[in-house]
DNA sequence: GTCTATATTTCGATAGAC
DNA sequence: GTCTATCGAAATATAGAC
């Protein structure tokens, strides 16, 4: 799996004076991402994260104020990754063409950051609880933005169902790139998924 | 939301002599299903389930041996619902036609038992941990059965991607029937989803 | 920045009366 | 079948030394 996004530990091998702590912070996030994806947020203890890094529980609290803070930082990773793909979806109704263009980018992001997407899909309950506390400034979450577009009654029902189905196809890629399709490359899968999505939106 | 499956509390209003406990057992499962779906399995305490029913924590232990046992019972609900839809998927490779016929039934089941499907999607970590303990007799889980078919290398890669994408379309219905499409009926949504799936599998 | 040690809370589970 | 009362474990989080 190739990483295209910045801000992961692998990109920061050479360290500037203060990069040691930055590196540690990212290493904590990488370990947490693994564990949260496999065992769930609530099913993972800070002790496990610390053990995987070879430090103690208390060390984590130097880099993060709470366990929720770690989850929030991972949520921000996805939010930043989606910033590019998220065009200005203003108040005008979205067309099927615009939706297709958007999802083409989301497919790429998803294949490049598979674990991050998977973590979000498998910890929706914990993320929602987090969002209830951090209701500062109406974060305008990606997921909410998607929901808002799909709920727009100015778009014909049939088109909205097509748009939702296309989203489902994107996330089927999470299932795909897991184990059943380990032999095929991301580019191959991405091309096929985009083809199917295009047919659905135009058909 | 219309319930088509048996074994929910609503179906058992008139009680036979021993139906009181049966009814309570199902009422516990209904409450747990709501809470596990909204807050997650690990994010829900037995105290919350008991409170919603107007009983105490200890009462739950008369009907279930553990918290995991409650989750397992809910998992069985889905397994029974899927028994009908699950044709004999033996060792022969599955054709696109067979897959379409199977998913037509799954769409119906999903729309009729939306919360049960949603709970499974949102608690995969807890369910996997449960399955690791209960590895008795290789339960042949529905999810594993799906994965096995999609991993069958005798089926062309392109067809397998189509089959996986179709599964994604089915589960997009979970997103759909949530709030954005509350006005449209389940039959309407089911018909549209089936149409899209058919086009994807044949296209 | 990381450690040891501990405070505090909450949860799952059990015992025994009724 | 349901209750009160409680146990023991594990978790998050903090305090303070180094």
For chain A, what are the domain ranges?
17-65, 68-202
pLDDT digits (tens, 9 = 90+) for B25-36: 999 999 999 999
pLDDT tens, A14-56?
445 556 667 999 999 999 999 999 999 999 999 999 999 999 9
Model confidence at A108, pLDDT cuts 50, 70, 90, reads very high
Interchain proximity B169–A168, CB inside 8 Å: yes
pLDDT, position B13: 47
Q: What is the pTM of this model?
A: 0.91
The residue in chain B having the minimum alpha-carbon distance to the alpha carbon of residue A182 is: B151
pLDDT-based confidence at residue A139 (cuts at 50, 70, 90): low
Among the partner-chain residues A43, A170, A199, the one whose CB lies closest to the CB of B42 is A43
* pLDDT of amino acid A13: 46
- Structure-block tokens of residue A56: 């103690």
CATH architecture of A17-65: Orthogonal Bundle (1.10)
Cβ of residue A61 near strand D, that is under 7 Å?
A: yes
How far does Cα A46 stand from its chain's mean position?
22
Contacts of A160 in chain B (CB under 8 A): 180-181
Asked if strand C contacts A50 at the CB level, meaning under 7 A, the answer is yes
Single out the residue of A17, A39, A38, A19 nearest to residue A27, CA to CA: A19
The tens digit of pLDDT for each residue in B93-151 reads 999 999 999 999 999 999 999 999 999 999 999 999 999 987 765 667 888 889 999 99
Query: What is the model's pLDDT at position A138?
Result: 64
Q: Is the CB of B46 under 7 A from strand C?
A: yes
Tell me the C-alpha distance between A73 and B178, whole Å.
Answer: 28
Angstrom distance, B30 CA to D8 C1': 30
d(Cα A54, Cα A1) in Å, to the nearest integer?
25
Q: Which of A21-35, A57-71, A101-115, A165-179 has the lowest mean pLDDT?
A: A165-179
Subset of residues 69-108 in chain B with CB less than 7 angstroms from any atom in strand C: none
Q: Which helix (H) or strand (E) holds A144?
A: helix A142-150
- CB of B62 nearer than 7 A to strand C: no
DSSP SS3 for B86:
coil
């Amino acid at each position: 799996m190739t990483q295209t996004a910045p801000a992961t530990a692998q990109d920061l091998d050479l360290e500037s004076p203060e990069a040691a702590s930055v590196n540690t912070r990212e290493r904590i996030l990488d370990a947490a991402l693994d564990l949260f994806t496999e065992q769930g947020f609530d099913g993972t203890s800070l002790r496990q994260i610390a053990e995987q890094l070879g430090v103690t529980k208390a060390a984590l609290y130097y880099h993060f104020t709470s366990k929720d803070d770690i989850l929030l930082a991972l949520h921000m990773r996805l939010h930043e990754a989606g910033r590019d793909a998220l065009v200005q979806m203003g108040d005008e109704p979205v067309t099927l063409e615009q939706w297709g263009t958007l999802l083409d980018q989301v497919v790429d992001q998803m294949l490049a950051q598979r674990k991050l997407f998977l973590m979000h899909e498998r910890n929706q309950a914990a993320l929602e609880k987090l969002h209830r506390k951090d209701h500062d400034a109406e974060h305008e979450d990606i997921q909410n933005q998607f929901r808002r577009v799909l709920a727009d009654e100015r778009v014909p029902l049939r088109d909205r169902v097509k748009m939702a189905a296309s989203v489902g196809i994107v996330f089927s890629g999470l299932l795909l790139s897991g184990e059943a399709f380990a032999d095929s490359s991301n580019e191959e899968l991405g091309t096929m998924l985009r083809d199917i999505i295009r047919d659905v939106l135009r058909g």
